[in-house]
Amino acid sequence: MTSEYEGYKSPLSSRYASKEMQYLFSDQKKFSTWRQLWIWLAQAEKSLGLEISDAQIAEMQAHMNSIDFIAAAAEERLTRHDVMAHVHVFAKQCPLAAPIIHLGATSCYVGDNTDLIILRDALDLLLPRVASVIYCLKEFALKYKSQPILGFTHLQPAQLTTVGKRACLWLQDLLMDERALRRCRNDLRCRGVKGTTGTQASFLQLFNGDGAKVKQLDLEVTHLAGFAKPYGVTGQTYSRKVDVEIIGALASLGTSIHKMCSDLRILASRKELEEPFESTQIGSSAMAYKRNPMRSERCCALARHMITLFSNAANTHATQWLERTLDDSANRRLTLSEGFLSADAALLTLLNVSQGLVVYPKVIERNIAQELPFMSTENIIMAMVKAGGDRQICHEKIRVLSQEAGAQVKQHGKDNDLVDRVRKDPYFAPIINQLDTILDARTFTGRATEQVDEFVTEEVQVVLDLYRDVVKNIKVVQLNI
């Protein structure tokens, strides 16, 4: 007897993604939507005059969710055609409706329209997750908007910024992702009823050449499916450019997640900031003291997968010859599902991180103290000049003292003692009483605090206002693994 543990399971479903997102890409969702589309087609055809009875439609509705997956799999082994396999199984369950199931349609009627419905529902699930992360980071940015911290360029200490201002850099990227995903959602249309190569020829025959009725059929099915408009033209499929835009937006989201979580990993290594760490959590199997940033690492791993999926979607669209080729099918089964499942998992993990970020101000202050004396030399020179000193003499004095202090740090591993050297040098006596003010880290952060307030008010809150109900009811995310 084969154990359930002897076959491959995707970690996206067994470990990471939510049940809600998994359901959207499940067989039950897919094939029950196929049946729903057959019902909508029959309803629309009946409303436009075809001989379809209420009893036939009622029979189909009664069996919409009762799918015999075993029978369908057996049919597909015989026919090598997934849609016809399900047509046959559905027809056996609905003998009265059998003659009108899939009437005038091609396989892509159910396949592509179902994909578009699932993509729509998946975007509707992801967008509030993005908004929730934005909200939590906004709160974090405001809380720490004035907390000075070393800035870095080239991964080397640079002019100070604040913890909140740095969080706004992450926020800005996520705002762009929300905009891109929302645009994808708003731009989505239904494939509608287009026939084998998109010309609607089969439906024109059904309606005896009445093009107005065919156009109305297209619109009615589109509206029944919950879309405002159908795509004006299609080949056999809707343009795979749609997939490129959506997977592109997910890949772009992946870059934002990776950037933010890479920053968190660097800050964790400096012990300045930390993701949540549970009391029973183990950081390392060997080094018991470790507090590894495993959530941020997971986000980076999932984000890299999201980024790589873009080339799949792009190449699939590029190779859809003429009205379509079937080499898109297997690829899209992987790319679309894994794109959304990965994004769902990464966002849930990122939300957990954003809800529990821990800042260590004392460590930050200690790290600043190692670098700030060097950064303050220009301010010291300016203060001496104002007190009547010679700029060139002061510059040389500071240069010599800085070199000596640097040697203490680099060659002897000691703390930066430049300030003590300045205090002890009689030359700087005129400004000794100003040194504490000159060395106040808050005077080195420019308009960072004001920038946080302005950015949150002018840009972040505008987006969050679109998700008022979401941000009112954000729950604390608990990760299963």
User: How many other C-beta atoms can be found within 10 angstroms of the C-beta atom of residue 49?
Assistant: 12
H or E element, residue 161: strand 156-162
DSSP letter at 56 equals H
Secondary structure (3-state) at 415: coil
Kind and range of the H or E element at 451?
A: helix 448-455
Q: What's the length of the chain? A: 481
SS3 content of the chain, % helix, strand, coil (to 5): 70, 5, 25
- Retrieve residue 60's tokens: 């189909």
- Distance, CA of 68 to CA of 80 (rounded, Å): 17
Q: How many helices (H) and strands (E) does the chain have?
A: 21, 4
Both tokens assigned to 173: 């990227």
Q: Which residue has the tokens 């920053």?
A: 263
**H helices within 13-68, ranges in order?**
19-24, 27-47, 54-62
Which tokens belong to 296?
């941020």
Is there a contact between 446 and 158 (Cβ–Cβ < 8 Å)? no
81: left (phi over 0), alpha (psi -120 to 50) or beta: beta
List of residues 6+ apart from 215 with CB closer than 8 A: none
d(CA 110, CA 81): 13
End-to-end CA distance of the chain: 29
CB 338, CB 309: distance < 8 Å: yes
**What tokens does 67 get?**
């799918």
Both tokens assigned to 308:
């790589």
Pairing of strands 156-162, 148-153: antiparallel
Closest CA to 204 of 435, 48, 404: 48
Active-site residues: which are they? 154, 284
Buried b (16+ CB within 10 A) or exposed e, 298-320: bbbbbbebbbebbebbbebbeeb
Distance CA 316, CA 334 (A): 12
The per-residue DSSP string of 413-430 comes to -----HHHHHHH-GGGGG
